[in-house]
Amino acid sequence: MKREGFPVPLRAVVIGSSCSGKTTLAKHLAESFHVPHVELDRLYWGANWTPVEALLFRTQVRQHVEEENWIVDGNYSVIQDEVFQRANLILWLNLPLRVVFGRALFRSFVRILSREEIFAGNRETFLRTFGPCSLLWWILTSFRERNRRYRAIFDKRDRTQTQLIELCSTSEVEHFVREIHKD
């Protein structure tokens, strides 16, 4: 683990488009630094793809971010203030649309064929993947606006209080992961 250059205690949030690799990167960080990983999707989604109540979601997130160390991955605006207020490291996976859309398509096909359980017994289906409320449609329609919001977060954030890292390509992400795993 290469710890120098990272804040102590470590309170990090990984943001980015759906299918940008937030959860994968957060798992690498949590494993390398031996801190808890909080996957917001797992807290947010209930059975039948129904979001949990907002108050319950906020309460669960608050319990995690009140701890000394944590890595959170996810982008839910309803709790963004809770997470960002305590974060001392923000990692933005700012990958191109073609990359995240390709990943979403591939991941969806794999999950449909494997019948993999995702959260709370939920599984991806053909209709859910290609219907009007699909993740693919969400990525296409929200990508630019979300990136504008993330840019605004980066531009307004006090860099003396929070370390900001923007990774803009798959190779940058891979290099970053290799570096954090170095002894």
The pTM of the full predicted model, rounded to 2 decimals, is 0.91
CB 12 within 8 A of CB 164: no
Class for the domain spanning 11-180: alpha beta
Q: How far is the C-alpha of 92 from the C-alpha of 1, rounded, in Å?
A: 21
pLDDT per residue rounded down to tens, the chain (183 residues)? 456 778 788 999 999 999 999 999 999 999 999 999 999 999 999 998 899 999 999 999 999 999 999 999 998 989 988 899 999 999 999 999 999 999 999 998 999 899 999 888 899 888 888 888 888 999 999 999 999 999 998 888 887 889 999 999 999 999 999 988 875
Q: What is the pLDDT of residue 183?
A: 57
Task: Give long-range contacts, CB 8 A cutoff, 24+ apart: 60-69.
Answer: 64/36, 64/38, 65/11, 65/38, 67/36, 68/9, 68/11, 69/9, 69/10, 69/11, 69/33, 69/35, 69/36
Q: Where are the domains of the chain?
A: 11-180
